[in-house]
Structure 1
Amino acid sequence: MSQHYEVYAIAFGRVDRQASGNFIGGVIADRSMPLVYYVWVIRSAGRVIVVDTGYDQASADRRRRALLKPVEAGLRALAIDPAAVQDVIVTHMHYDHAGNGTLFPNARYHLQDAEMAFATGRCMCHAHVRSPYDVEDVAAMVRRVYAGLVNFHEGPGTVAPGVGVHRIGGHSRGLQAVTVETERGTLVLASDAIPFYAHFQSRRVYPVIDCLPDILDGYRTIDELASRPEHIVPGHDPEVMEIFPAFSAETRGWIARLHEGPLRPPAVWLDG
């Protein structure tokens, strides 16, 4: 039997970019379009599930990204002890989603079979393909496998009653979205299947890809998984922090309550 969860987005990092760098084929009228980096928390009475683990200061320095606040600080603002987290869903193993390797020492990790095979297989012989991955993050996941701490999913899977994973692929071979049952319906944490609202609105594509048709098919899949379009949460859009209510006045722009619904619709993407 499913239950209803609270869902939070924690913004921990940022990089400034132009819109022309966020779409295959560029844009007609360029503008500022920064990426914000998130982890997500799914919480009910007696259960906490963390979705993705972010990156740390060393990774931020290597990649020339800003670390706004450490992931651990966001968790503690929600009164969550990382050592008490029992389940971590990794949507995919890119550096900004699978870092902070020692933050959750007692967690069981949930990953798609296809993502582990991709991140440890022959495709990583190509520098461009492996560039979003950090070898230490991948090695840490291999160690968890050998320690019996990874649950593998092949396509749709259940992490807890009311929390599911769904392989989307496209951006990386085993990218998975997460569905969460809330009081307002089924919420979809799209992660990098939909980096910005604009990608979903325009059916255009962010330029880090493994399979273009899988990305485009994934838009339809996510639309079907969500109760309503406003229940879809993109993976890197700064607007998430603007349209969803803050956890508290002190955490405005840092932690948002996704389970309460947006205060307004996202802005409509207009290119030109």
Structure 2
Amino acid sequence: MKSVHFGLLIYAFLILNCVSGNQDINRLNGKESKNCKSGFGLYVFIYGKSLYPDRFLNVKEDKGSREIVYLFYLIRIPGKNILIDSGFSDGFYRKKFGFSNFEKPDQLLKRCGIDPKEITDIVLTHFHFDHSGGIFLFPSATLHIQNHDLDLLKKQSYFPNQATYIRSLSETNRLHSFDGTYSLLPGLQILFTGGHTPGSQAVEWIVSSKGQFLFTGDECYFIEECKNGIGLPKEATFSLRRNRDFIEYVRVLSDKGTKILTLHDPAILQEGEDIATGVRLLYSF
């Protein structure tokens, strides 16, 4: 697999991004939103909670376990409805991990006015069940995934007839697997990270000087710890070195004003504006 050298990414970012990012990107520019179709922007969906062992988290001190939330994101731009991860729906995993406040991802989207068939793309940060187990809920979406994690996803059974569904994606040209970094759209780049899993990836989205975001996947769980250089423990990594390279990239982008967003930090529930139960608007334009 072609690896990204994060030192080069950091250098490029410092050269190309001279605008200070100190503006508060959580302000919603005076716009009001009643549902996800009333404007373009970034939405976060909270589909459950559970306790999770500290030994797998990027935390300062192992206290046994703590609560994490389970999130996915919607980037809504003209002509595109892009999900960052898909959540899941299988009852087996809900019971195994002791989920509370669980809601199916497609129902959350419907609640804010988005038909699941309107999702055009899903970027999977990695193959684990809570990130990829809901892909079948969005039957029109093209899936974007690193080759190594696609190979691992094919070996799982996160939902009924999963192998058949993945084959159907390929047969209908809706499966985009690749190695390394890929520019999905102008300003929206998928970055190979390869720390948490062999094919882990992050997403960097630059809307404007006031709207710059980095979606970390599970290279880190808690935002402040991530920004302060605390990476994953060895038990939670495929490559500790790649995870640490990415954590340094997070630090540089955060210092320049990029908003860091993970998929499990309860602090995100305090960001932005409530749209509906389980749905928050983080940024609009």
Q: Same fold (TM over 0.5)?
A: yes
Normalised TM-score (structure 2): 0.73
Q: How does 1:126-205 map to 2 (within 5 A)?
A: 134=158, 139=163, 140-183=165-208, 184-197=210-223, 198-205=225-232
1:192 deviates by: 0.6
Query: Bigger shift: 95-104 or 139-148?
Result: 139-148
| 78 and 62 in structure 1: CA distance in 2 versus 1, 3 angstrom threshold | same
Q: Secondary structure at the match of 1:43?
A: strand
Instruction: Please give the per-residue CA displacement for 1:158-214, whole angstroms capped at 9, x wherever unaligned.
Output: 222222100111111111111112341321111111211224424231542211111
Equivalence for 2:114: 80
3-state DSSP of counterpart to 2:232: coil
> What do residues 49-93 of structure 1 show as CA deviations (whole Å, max 9, x unaligned)?
111110114231344333522211221233211112111111111
Partner of 2:95: 61
Does 2:32 correspond to 1:6?
A: no
| 5+ long unaligned stretches in structure 2 | 1-39
Deviations 1:104-162 (A, max 9, x none): 11111111123223445xxx7xxxxx8xx748686343442244211123211122222
Aligned-partner Cα distance in 2 for 1:227–1:111: 28
Secondary structure of 1:17's match? strand
How many residue pairs get aligned? The number is 241
**Partner letter of residue 177 of structure 1?**
A
Query: Quick check: 2:52–2:66 contact (8 Å CA) kept in 1?
Result: yes
Q: Does 1:45 align with 2:91?
A: no
**Counterpart residue number, 2:126:** 92
Q: CA RMSD for the aligned pairs?
A: 2.9
Alpha-carbon distance in 1 for matches of 2:197, 2:248: 17
Give, in whole Å, the separation in 2 of the partners of 1:154 and 1:60: 31
Measure the CA separation in 2 of the matches of 1:214 and 1:117.
Answer: 20
Partner of 1:15: 50
2:279 to 240, 255, 263: 255
Aligned residues with identical type, % of pairs: 21
Give the Cα separation in 2 of the matches to 1:42 and 1:150.
Answer: 19
SS in 2 for 1:16: strand
Shift of 1:39: 0.8
Deviation at 1:258, TM superposition (A): 2.6
